[in-house]
């Protein structure tokens, strides 16, 4: 791959205060134009190269939905490594703020390397960034990506395909379940190269007696035509 090296700068250029506020308010955030069309194409092309991946999952076999995904192997492709490293400190700051709101003692370290060290000490050593592929009819059931006791509270998904040109349907879904209430469903329409930051397991919501946890699951609605690729960056490693 002909990798660009301005990823760190691109990530640093987002208005992270504004993203933090949006995440506090709606539970997720968007990064528009995080990847160029060429980078999206390169990542899609990478999907065919099994030497870059450690595991392939047939989603139907596990009743996770319909489609497939592959977990990248270490060392991660440079662009994925750079995105994971560059996103982490901004998200750790928001994560620490959320932990405070929820009265948790957890404090996330400032660097991805330190956080991964912590994962490794807890037996979580396998890389979790993944590329997902859905054909017509494919979908991803509502789920959470937890792979052990250590879980970073946010993950990021990048849409790699061109909506309405390469595929139709296949909307990103977030379902938020508040205690003793019915769930809220959010449909997030991503553009090619854009990304969504969302909670891995829950988000703080203001109640009449302080902040409480609302459980969040994510998924993808059925693809009605064509082929849709996404790339997920999960920060905790897996057991």
Ligand X SMILES: O=C(O)CCC(=O)C(=O)O
C-alpha distances out from residue 79 to 3, 55, 159, 233, Å: 7, 20, 15, 11
How far apart (Å, rounded) are the C-alpha atoms in residues 4 and 22?
A: 29
C-alpha distances out from residue 214 to 24, 137, 162, 204, Å: 12, 30, 32, 6
Q: How far is the CB of 184 from ligand X (least distance, A)?
A: 19
Token look-up 């497939």 returns: 68
Of residues 155-214, which lie at the interface with ligand X (CB under 6 A)?
155, 157, 172
Tell me how many residues contact ligand X (CB under 6 A): 10
Contact letters (x/-) for ligand X, 35-74, by CB under 6 A?
Answer: ----------------------------------------
Q: How many Cα neighbours within 13 Å face the side chain of 156?
A: 24
Q: How far is the CB of 130 from Fe ion (least distance, A)?
A: 8
Note whether 136 binds ligand X by CB under 6 A.
no
Q: How far is the CB of 173 from Fe ion (least distance, A)?
A: 11
Q: Which of the listed partners (Fe ion, ligand X, none) does 214 bind, with a CB threshold of 5 to 8 Å by partner kind?
A: none
Return the number of the residue (19 or 157) whose C-beta is nearest ligand X: 157
Note whether 218 binds ligand X by CB under 6 A.
yes
Contact letters (x/-) for ligand X, 73-112, by CB under 6 A?
Answer: ----------------------------------------
Rounded to the nearest 10 degrees, what angle do helices 78-101 and 112-121 cross at?
80
Secondary structure element (H or E) that encloses residue 62, with its range? none
Cα dihedral 98, 100, 101, 102 in deg (nearest 10): 90
- 91 contacts: CB under 8 Å, gap ≥ 6: 152, 154, 156, 197, 235
Note whether 129 binds ligand X by CB under 6 A.
no
Among 24, 93, 136, 145, binds ligand X (CB under 6 A): 145
Site of interaction with ligand X (CB under 6 A): 132, 140, 145, 155, 157, 172, 218, 220, 230, 232
């Amino acid at each position: 791959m002909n990798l660009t090296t301005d990823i760190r700068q691109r990530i640093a250029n987002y208005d992270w205060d504004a993203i933090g506020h949006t995440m506090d308010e709606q539970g997720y955030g968007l990064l528009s134009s995080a990847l160029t069309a060429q980078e999206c194409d390169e990542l899609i092309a990478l999907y065919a190269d099994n030497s870059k991946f450690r595991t392939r999952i047939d989603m139907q076999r596990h009743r996770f939905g319909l489609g497939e995904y592959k977990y990248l192997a270490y060392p991660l492709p440079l662009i994925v490594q750079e995105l994971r490293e560059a996103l982490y400190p901004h998200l750790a700051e928001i994560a620490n703020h959320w932990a405070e709101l929820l009265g948790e003692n957890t404090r996330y370290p400032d660097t991805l390397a330190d956080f991964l060290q912590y994962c490794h000490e807890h037996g979580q050593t396998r890389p979790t960034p993944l590329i997902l592929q859905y054909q017509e009819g494919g979908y991803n059931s509502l789920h959470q990506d937890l792979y052990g006791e250590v879980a970073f509270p946010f993950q990021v998904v990048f849409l790699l395909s061109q909506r309405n040109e390469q595929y139709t349907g296949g909307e990103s879904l977030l379902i938020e379940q508040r205690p003793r209430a019915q769930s809220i469903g959010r449909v997030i329409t991503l553009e090619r190269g854009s990304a969504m930051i969302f909670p891995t397991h829950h988000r703080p919501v203001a109640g009449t007696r302080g902040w409480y946890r609302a459980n969040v699951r994510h998924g993808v609605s059925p693809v009605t035509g064509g082929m849709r690729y996404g790339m997920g960056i999960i920060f905790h490693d897996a057991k």
